[in-house]
Structure 1
Amino acid sequence: MAGAGMAVGKAFTGLTGMKVAKNPTHTLGVLYSKTLRALAKMPNEYTYRKETETLINTRAGIIKNSVDIGEAEKKIGMGQIEEVIIQAENELILARSILEWRAWEPLAEKAPENQWKWPL
């Protein structure tokens, strides 16, 4: 697996307050695994689950098949790997929140008229 031992090899990110990730492939692997476990508890047909699983599997594949972090960053196209890690952390928080909210269940009461209409 090419991505498993990829070293970052940079001294700084160039982003104020953001440190270089020491082992980004491991960090992302852990975050992606936790998020996939949370998603697995949601209904199979739930759109958020399907789209997020696709995104995670795509990004994990890119990291696994990239020669180095720079290549992975370019292919993912969402900034530096440290920013991708932040996105993965936020996605995990969101997935766990959606599980708690059970957002796929029907509304408790009828939605107000025009709630889903845009623009009004």
Structure 2
Amino acid sequence: MSQLCFFGLEIKSGMKYITTLEDDLKLTRAVINPDANESSLARLFFKLGNREVPLCQLNSVETSADLNILILTKTEVGFRVAGSTSIFISGYYVPKEESSSNPTISPSSFALGYN
């Protein structure tokens, strides 16, 4: 059995994070910046190919959201946060034997039904 490797990233409001993954990545959680004030609001967006979708909206009441997203190796993805504070995302890199048995979404099959 392979060991899991933790992944964590802070996405600051107004900034974009774009990368091409070298390993399969499973995102499991999004959390609003713990230093955010009570009026803070932040929306996390995920970009795969030319499509961008909202993943969650967090604030002082809803401070975290569960994610269950598997992103495949060599896939270019992007994240951005809109709002007054940052969001931290976390998960783990998936050992190859685990990722090969799970159904996944690839950029070519990812369709939202709108332009």
- The answer to which structure, 1 or 2, has the higher relative contact order (CA under 8 A, 6+ apart) is 2
Q: Indicate the structure (1 or 2) with the bigger Cα radius of gyration.
A: 1
TM over 0.5: no
TM-score (norm 2): 0.24
Scaled by the length of structure 1, what TM-score is found?
0.23
Q: Which structure features the higher share of helix residues?
A: 1
Please identify which structure carries the higher strand content. 2
